[in-house]
Structure 1
Amino acid sequence: MTTDEDGSPCTEEDPFALALQVGHGPVYLRLANGGRIRMPVHRWYAHPNVADESVLNRCVGPVLDVGCGPGRLCRTLLRRGVFALGVDVAPRAAAHTIALGGIALCRSVFDRLPAEGGWRTVLLIDGNIGIGGDPRALLGRCFQLTAPAGLLLVEVDPDDVEERCTARFEDIHGHEGRPFPWARLGAPALHRIAEDLALSVTDQWIYGHRRFLVLGRQDTASGPC
């Protein structure tokens, strides 16, 4: 998971950075409306589960994992012989990915990245459609990074929601990090935004409480990847 295009909200003492350091929570995303979402830090450090496998099985290399966190997806792809690069603005996330055998850059998706226009699969998993608080800008940027026939695999909120907000990371004691822009998007909202951007939804599926969609350009998308 990562956050905004202006840099990481995580300082060394930020609740999110500390959770990444120890590999478990609890750490929460506190929304401006008072809502609180528990971040699945333990899952990010675990082996890919069945829902994750449904994403990995649809990946065609080279793969760019945006907001890679500790890199469970890009590391697994590398072990399977699929080239994958993780990017995350949280220094601890990128460092953990590398330490555990992956390849990662501590960089924003909005920064200059390697092989722009050449990635066959770009991942926005674990709620990373919220990066920067502007899903339209994020999707547009991701398709700048993909090859002409490239695909974007997106995990959306299981609820029908379209929300742009300011958020903070918070630990169980109420200690907060600095605010950053964030967004929550359900499948209906993603369909609407995709259509506005001349993108097609070529596949979608649900595993448990997690929901995923595949996006491609309308002039090249021909079906599920």
Structure 2
Amino acid sequence: MPQPLEWWKREPGANEPADIGVLDWVRDGYVIDAGCGTGRHLEILARRGVTGYGIEVAEAAVSLANAAGIPCVREDVFSHVPPRPADTVLAVGGNGGMAGTVEELPAFLHRLSSWLTESGRIVLTSTDWRRFPAGKLHGSAIPPGSYPGNKRMRFRLADQAGPWFPWVFVDADTLERSCQAIGLRVVERKEWLGGAIYGAVLDRSPSA
């Protein structure tokens, strides 16, 4: 699955990722971008007057973000402690998958929500495994009883490849159920590529 590397590296004429439009949901306030890469989302939001910072595990990406003037720290979602509550937490660029598995998705969403102000929101994008052609995401048979969106991934550039890591391609219905289990709700949705990629805004349900 090709990645928009040229866009992340700020190369002239690079095509934007399909899900970049979800940034229109962020109109003001303070933002934390989880898995910010080289900081492009924060760069766009800063031009609109929205401030914040990012966290990222890839050392090279953090260096590129900081070189571009984007506040970014090298940490992971599961250990980071924000200095202040955020109005919006981003998990964009498919980063809803950072949960790793569907079983860990509620805990992942709960952690992101713990960074929010009382009225704060999570903006995430993910890949709906149901909308991909048969065989596109699955190189082998799915074990009985396992969730089809639970995958392992690695990044490859030319003849170099990184380590394998868990990633979940969560379908939109399962996302809604995971939100309900921890007192969140999906309040807005957008889709691209026939629903294969989608974005969602999550906030706390009134009864939470």
* TM-score, normalized by the shorter chain, greater than 0.5: yes
After superposition, what is the alpha-carbon deviation per residue over 1:176-220, rounded to whole angstroms, capped at 9, x for unaligned? Answer: 322222211121221111111221111111244531110001028
Conservation of the 8 A alpha-carbon contact between 1:78 and 1:102:
no
The aligned counterpart of 1:31 is none
Query: Which residue identity is paired with 1:156?
Result: S
Alpha-carbon distance, 1:89 to partner: 0.6
The aligned counterpart of 1:6 is none
The aligned counterpart of 1:44 is 8
The aligned counterpart of 1:57 is 24
The aligned counterpart of 1:168 is 154
The aligned counterpart of 1:93 is 61
Determine if the alignment matches structure 1 residue 71 to structure 2 residue 39.
yes
The aligned counterpart of 1:144 is 114
Q: Percent identity, please.
A: 30
The aligned counterpart of 2:145 is none
Query: Which residue identity is paired with 1:125?
Result: V
The aligned counterpart of 2:138 is none
The aligned counterpart of 2:142 is none
Conservation of the 8 A alpha-carbon contact between 1:48 and 1:73:
no
Equivalent residue in structure 2 for 1:108, among 67, 73, 76: 76
Determine if the alignment matches structure 1 residue 129 to structure 2 residue 96.
yes
Query: Which residue identity is paired with 2:2?
Result: R
TM-score by length of 1: 0.72
Query: Which residue identity is paired with 1:182?
Result: W
- Structure 2 unaligned spans of 5+: 132-147
Conservation of the 8 A alpha-carbon contact between 1:160 and 1:189:
no
SS at match of 2:44: helix
Query: Which residue identity is paired with 1:97?
Result: A
Conservation of the 8 A alpha-carbon contact between 1:165 and 1:182:
yes
The aligned counterpart of 1:155 is 125
Q: RMSD between aligned alpha carbons?
A: 2.5
Aligned residues: 183
Whole-angstrom distance in 1 between the partners of 2:109 and 2:130: 19
Query: Which residue identity is paired with 1:109?
Result: V
Conservation of the 8 A alpha-carbon contact between 2:57 and 2:74:
yes
Tell which deviates more after alignment, 195-204 or 162-171.
162-171
Higher relative contact order (CA 8 A, sep 6+): 1
